[in-house]
Amino acid sequence: MKKFTSYVTSLKYDFPSSIVVFLVALPLCLGIALGSNAPLFSGIIAGIVGGIVIGSLSGSQLSVSGPAAGLTAIVAAAIGKLQVYEIFLLAVVLGGIIQLVFGFLKAGILGDYIPYSVIKGMLAAIGLILILKQLPHMVGYDTDFQGDETFQQKDGSNTFSGIFRSFQHIVPLALLIGVAAILIQVLWEKVLTKKHRMFSLIPAPLIVVAVGILINEYFKTSNPSFALNDNLLVAIPVAESVQDFASFFTFPDFSALANFAVWSSAITIAIVASLETLLNIEAADELDPYKRVTPTNRELKAQGVGNIVSGLLGGLPLTSVIVRTSANINAGARTKMSTIIHGCLLLLSVALAPRILNLIPLSALAGILIYTGFKLVKPAIIREFYRKGATQFVPFVVTVVAILFTDLLVGIFIGCIAGMFFVVRSNFKTAVFVVHDNNNYLFRLRKDVSFLNKPIIRRKLERVPENCSVLIDTTRADFIDMDIIEVIEDFMLHAPLKNITVELRKSSYKTQGFTVEKTTIHEKVVVTETSENL
């Protein structure tokens, strides 16, 4: 009852946010379906299921699920390989079942291993991608599908060449509507909502869409040659009757269960969709102003059920999607009701008012997405990571650049490698501590001393001059690799030849089968010759 009350209380924030997400999701659902070589309505089905089904089952309050750009290449390849769309839908259903299994196996823990700097880098990269990818749509150049996030585009160009080419094909009215869309949002958020509370109750993107429609409709009557062509407007399939609407839904062909290609496609969809969901959930929790933590295993189960339902109805595979999620959070959503209502709005709009939706200029929607992108990649975020030093700033930048020039999953993988490098480097530098005073040397081994530390330990031991005293202190090491043991034993064996005396201080633990006894650490170097094993 308490939870229900909180949902009702938050409805004044969630309903306006749901309208924003609905407006953002609509062209993305259609664009991703187009880019996947699937029926256009399959993207709408996926958006509806992602909102209503996954929104209801998920433990996340702000994440929004739907068809994902990261799956377009996989979906297009699977449809091409399986040839029949109904057989592909079976792969989607099986992929959902596999995701359910992942959830029960508690595979959601994998999301906890993504570094903070990489998650922030992903958000910044998505912001830049939104700006760069939507610029051509804002000026009326729509050769690339809405929602594409990859650097190499299906039209043969890449992100940057697509922008330069679009400037040669500017549609004046599209540019006018796009610029107006951005200015309206800035004015609405920075000025009007601060002066009058009533403006905060109306989402700016709704005004953007209404103004875009009115401008285009005005020129349709006053100067038709200046108005936008139909290919620059939203294009939802229109049903003339209930039977026509029902025909948009397609059902899987279960007779192909024995087809190995179906199972391989299902496994691929399940793995990629699960990874992308875990990444986006981490990002959503990072953006959440209330810092709520999503139960990742429950999320995998919710995604699994969502993909089963989507596949049964003829929809595309689903994941948590950061573009819609960030739009949801930026619009002020408080609970999952925003996600659920956006799914209901998608269903009602395509069933009852598709002709009205088909009046919306794509450049107006591009302006909404560009403004969302600006919020994700604020200069303050870059300054924040720069101040934190190279260990945080470099993985952040590497992640941003890698995602921009590849795609989301590849970029995240590269970012994680960069983050891991700095973790290993930090451990590598702090594992061996060397200090000397005149002819007295202290070698202190700390944490885990692996074979990676072998060259530096050997080099520093070889530099110890003749007639010196050396204390090798291993009492603070949790683990010492056999290679390190051999280096130390070799040094101790040959030390008398240079008149070097060595003392070894050891802790009680087992290392590669060698048992060592506990002794006390001395602050000063004590010179005693020994050749016992480490």
CA atoms of 31 and 413, how far apart (whole Å): 26
Is residue 138 within 8 A of residue 174, CB to CB? The reply is: yes
Query: What is the enclosing helix (H) or strand (E) of 141?
Result: none
Residue 213 structure tokens: 């429609």
pTM above 0.95, yes or no: no
C-alpha distances in angstroms, 527 versus 139, 373, 500? 78, 65, 9
CATH 3.40.50.620 fits 431-515, yes or no: no
Residue with tokens 């260990």: 391
Q: For 405-414, what is each residue's pLDDT tens digit?
A: 888 788 888 9
Mean pLDDT within 49-54: 96
Mean pLDDT within 429-445: 85
CA atoms of 132 and 56, how far apart (whole Å): 33
Q: For 384-420, what is each residue's pLDDT tens digit?
A: 888 888 888 999 999 999 988 888 788 888 988 888 8
Please enumerate in sequence order all residues whose Cβ is within 8 A of that of 354, keeping only pairs 6 or more positions apart, or say none.
Answer: 236, 237, 238, 239
Q: How high is the mean pLDDT of the chain?
A: 86
- Taking each helix axis from N to C terminus, what angle separates 172-187 and 204-222, rounded to the nearest 10 degrees? 150
User: How many H-runs (helices) and E-runs (strands) does the chain carry?
Assistant: 23, 8
Residue 320 structure tokens: 């948590």
CA atoms of 445 and 502, how far apart (whole Å): 15
Q: For 232-253, what is each residue's pLDDT tens digit?
A: 999 888 887 888 888 889 999 9
C-alpha distances in angstroms, 167 versus 135, 270, 326? 9, 39, 28
Domain boundaries, the chain: 2-384, 431-515
Residues 395, 397, 402, 407: is their CA dihedral positive or negative?
positive
